[in-house]
Amino acid sequence: MSTNTKPTPAIIYCRVSSKKQSAQASGLESQEYRCRQFAEEHNYDVEAVFPDDVSGGGDFLKRAGMVSLLRYLDRQRGKNYVVIFDDLKRFARDTEFHLRLRRELQIRNARVECLNFRFEDTPEGKFVETVFAAQGQLEREQNARQVLQKMKARVEQGFWVFRAPVGYKYEKGQYGGKVLVRDEPLASIVQDALEGFATGRLSTQAEVQRYLERQPLFPKDTPKGEIRAMTISVFLRKPIYAGYVRAPKWGISLREGQHEGLISLATYQRIQERLQETGYVTTRTDNHEDFPLRGAVVCSGCGTTLTGGWSKGKVRHHAYYRCRKKGCDHYGKSIARAKLEGSFDELLSSLRPTKGLVSVATAMFKDAWGQRAALAEDQVDHVRAQIREIDSKIDKLVEAVVEASHPKVVSAYEAKIDNLEKEKLLLLERAANPVPSQAVFDEVFEHALTFLANPQKLWNSGVFRQKRAVLKLAFGDFLTYDRTTGCLNTKKSLPFSMLAGISGEKKEMVLPE
């Protein structure tokens, strides 16, 4: 071209289908290079380049680069531009949006030129252009359908195909494709949170939320480092953490996954049960170390949990617990913190068994553990028999589905099959668990027996979190404070009730036959 002619102002638009292509394949840079060569050959003066890294399907106004390009043209009214594309597929891969984008550029007096396609403003040219746009849409939709079919097939085989959940990452599988593997240390954090909620150590979703917010590596929802309540609700309901996958929108029911679970299926089921329960000794957002019994002790008059606070005296502040229920005879009446917590300390002291009783209890626990191990083998055989029975029921229901014609009947049969499949998965997990050994007993019960021997020691440690743990582990219900006697009445947890039963047994000689 002659260099005496004034260059035509031009804009380059580049697009790749994903951020990964943009970062790894240098697709945007190569497109820009080719477009600049084309502009130089045709005496075009490139003023700006607008890149995008999103899919070609859908509304072009959702592409940040294209929106910026149109705004640039709006600011340059009265100036005729050439918009250069590397390939027609970079323009739009949807017939409707292709034509709309062409009109938007025509309104702004912008001419479109493409390296591999010649736009002609004739009936024949418009027809060919529409055919090419429709072909691009067909290819995109066919590719999308093929990808969806492959994703469904992967999920049906037990592979997760969506974004890796927190605690997992993708790695290349042994037989191709990507599989989920533990992503430490996040995996251990997630596991601890889930098991903590299942066991009651984290008694509410709010406690799980605060626990995860304290973990620097766990992703947060807000810049302030907060996690939304909905995030926790979804987090606790994900079966993928138990090693299972499902895709209800694709009609794929719960099935064993091809990845290692962070928790067992039984633990997951316990979490789902706990989500339906109400917690005891819940953690409030305003809990303070000054009042460890707040939320655990109830008023004897109305049964409302006592609150705690400081009152200003003439010389210094005083700590009190109070009933907060209006209409109660004890409403607003203060109980000195020292008096109430002194009664609690006496109650804890009364729970402490003798050394001999602890030894007896330890021997009983070991004996029971041994009996459990002996029965475990028989239980596995029984579980396998249950699995065979469920398989038989499923086979009969499948036959009934084939013969049924009414949609409601088919739906009812399918629901029963789904429930049986879930029951079968739980039984399979139980059958796969090994029989616990004596070493496992020593590991599990070492800390528990230490606590049973002296719960007061853990309370007197001064650690607020451990004090709250004592309330959950030692008592099975709220404590009731009697203002008249100054005593605390409560229901002991199962281990302490058992110890009390042993110590209170009457021992007599067995008469001969």
Taking only the tens place, the pLDDT of each residue in 409-444 is 777 877 788 778 777 777 777 666 655 555 556 666
pLDDT winner (highest mean) among 180-184, 406-410, 428-432, 456-460 = 180-184
pLDDT in tens, 293-318: 887 888 888 888 888 888 877 778 88
Question: Does some domain include residue 404?
Answer: yes
209: nearest Cα among 284, 110, 304, 131:
284
pTM: 0.50
Task: Decide: 458 and 470 in contact? Cβ < 8 Å.
Answer: yes
415 burial (CB, 10 Å; 0-12 / 13-18 / 19+) is exposed
- What's the CA gap between 65 and 76, in Å, rounded? 17
Handedness of CA 212, 213, 217, 219 (dihedral sign): positive
Distance CA 417, CA 412 (A): 9
Same domain, 344 and 381: no
Q: 193 with 250, same domain?
A: yes
Structural domains of the chain, count? 4
Q: How many angstroms separate the CA atoms of 82 and 102, rounded? A: 12
In this model, does residue 510 exceed pLDDT 50?
no
In a domain, residue 287? The reply is: no
Question: Mean pLDDT score of the chain, rounded to an integer?
Answer: 78
Lowest mean pLDDT among 112-126, 232-246, 428-442: 428-442
Got the DSSP string for 169-214?
Answer: EEEE-TTSSEEEEE-TTHHHHHHHHHHHHHHTSS-SHHHHHHHHHT
Q: Write out the H or E segment, with its range, that includes residue 336.
A: strand 334-336
**Does pLDDT of 265 surpass 90?**
no
Closest CA to 363 of 509, 500, 508, 499: 499
Identify whether residues 23 and 114 lie together within a single domain.
yes
Q: For residues 300 and 481, is the Cβ–Cβ distance under 8 A?
A: yes
336 and 471 assigned to the same domain: yes
Share of the chain above pLDDT 70, in %: 77
Write down which residue in 144, 176, 204 finishes a domain.
144
Residue 171 tokens, joined: 């790695």
Residues 233 and 371 grouped into a single domain? no
Residue with tokens 């106004």: 61
Q: Which segments within 24-71 are labelled E, that is strand?
A: 44-52
450: tokens are 């230490």
Measure the N-to-C terminal CA separation of the chain; round to a whole number of Å. 123
Q: Would the pLDDT of 500 be above 70?
A: no
- Where are the strands (E) in 109-183, listed by range? 110-114, 168-172, 178-182
CA–CA distance, 239 with 166 (Å, rounded to integer): 13
> Residue 256 pairs with which residues in a beta bridge?
244
Do 348 and 402 sit in the same domain of this protein? no
Residue 343 or residue 24, greater confidence: 343
User: For the domain that residue 239 is a member of, what is the CATH number?
Assistant: 3.90.1750.20
Tell me the one-letter amino acid at 98: H
Does residue 337 share a domain with residue 241?
Answer: no
How far from chain centre, in Å, is Cα 413?
A: 31
Instruction: State the Cα–Cα distance between residues 79 and 162, nearest whole angstrom.
Output: 46
The C-alpha atoms of residue 398 and residue 406 are separated, in whole angstroms, by 15
Residues 348 and 419 in one domain: no
Do the Cβ atoms of 168 and 187 come closer than 8 Å? yes
| Whether 138 and 12 share a structural domain | yes
- pLDDT above 90 coverage of the chain, percent: 7
Check residue 274 and give its pLDDT: 86
Least reliable range by pLDDT among 359-373, 398-412, 455-469, 475-489: 359-373
Backbone phi and psi for residue 3, each to the nearest 5 degrees, phi listed first = -85, -5
204: its two tokens: 């509410």
Give yes or no for residue 278 having a pLDDT over 60. no
Ranking 115-119, 224-228, 241-245, 316-320 by mean pLDDT, the lowest is 115-119
Banded pLDDT at 347 (limits 50, 70, 90): confident
Both 340 and 373 in one domain: the answer is: no
Q: Tell me, what amino acid is at 18?
A: S
Residues 32-46 pLDDT 10s:
888 899 998 899 999
- Which of 395, 399, 394 lies closest to 416, judged by CA? 394
Question: 373: Cβ–Cβ under 8 A, 6 or more apart, which residues?
Answer: 435, 436, 437
Q: How many residues does the chain have?
A: 513
> Cβ(225)–Cβ(213) under 8 Å?
yes
pLDDT digits (tens, 9 = 90+) for 158-177: 898 889 999 999 988 877 78
Contact 150, 203 (CB under 8 A): no
Which of 22-31, 135-144, 404-413 is least confident? 22-31
139 pLDDT more than 80: no
Domain that holds residue 337: 300-352+454-503
What CATH number is given to the structural domain containing 96?
A: 3.40.50.1390
Q: Of 285 and 449, which is predicted with more confidence?
A: 449
